[in-house]
């Protein structure tokens, strides 16, 4: 599956490249797993609710999550730093 990064998510990804290689390595592993199976797998997959219905969250580490949804074979990544916002 292809990836489409929201501007904010891409900036967060670039942050990890310069600030924390361990988190970046884990993030890359989670993203690869999302591409294989968007609704299950590593990272404690969570289906979001209410105004984020249709979106998913996966744990990168204790503090950070990847927030995304899948549409027509494309993974849309909205965030990869911090927790999701309602």
Report if residue 1 sits inside a domain: no
pLDDT, residue 85, reads: 57
pLDDT, residue 43, reads: 86
Using the 8-state DSSP alphabet, how is residue 64 labeled?
-
3-state secondary structure of 16: helix
Report if residue 53 sits inside a domain: yes
Report if residue 11 sits inside a domain: yes
Cα–Cα distance measured from residue 6 to residue 25, given in angstroms and rounded to the nearest whole number:
20
pLDDT, residue 32, reads: 96
Taking alpha carbons only, the member of 76, 36, 83, 22 closest to residue 58 is 83
57: domain CATH number?
A: 3.30.2310.20
| Residues with catalytic function | 46, 83
The count of domains in the chain is 1
Cα–Cα distance measured from residue 68 to residue 48, given in angstroms and rounded to the nearest whole number:
10
Q: With contact defined as beta carbons under 8 Å apart, do 61 and 26 qualify?
A: yes
pLDDT, residue 86, reads: 47
Report if residue 45 sits inside a domain: yes
- Specify the DSSP element, H or E, that contains 10: helix 7-19
Report if residue 23 sits inside a domain: yes
pLDDT, residue 83, reads: 77
Report if residue 49 sits inside a domain: yes
The reported pTM is: 0.90
Domain that holds residue 52: 7-79
Question: Each residue's pLDDT tens digit in the chain (86 positions)?
Answer: 899 999 999 999 999 999 999 999 999 999 999 999 999 999 899 999 998 999 999 999 999 999 999 999 999 999 999 975 54
């Amino acid at each position: 599956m292809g990836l489409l990064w929201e501007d904010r998510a891409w900036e967060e990804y670039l942050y990890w490249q310069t600030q924390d290689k361990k988190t970046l390595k884990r993030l890359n592993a989670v993203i690869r797993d999302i591409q294989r199976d968007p609704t299950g797998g590593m990272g404690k997959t969570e289906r979001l609710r209410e105004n984020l219905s249709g979106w998913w969250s996966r744990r990168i580490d204790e503090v950070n999550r990847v927030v995304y949804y899948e549409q027509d074979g494309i993974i849309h990544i909205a965030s990869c730093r911090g927790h999701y916002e309602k």
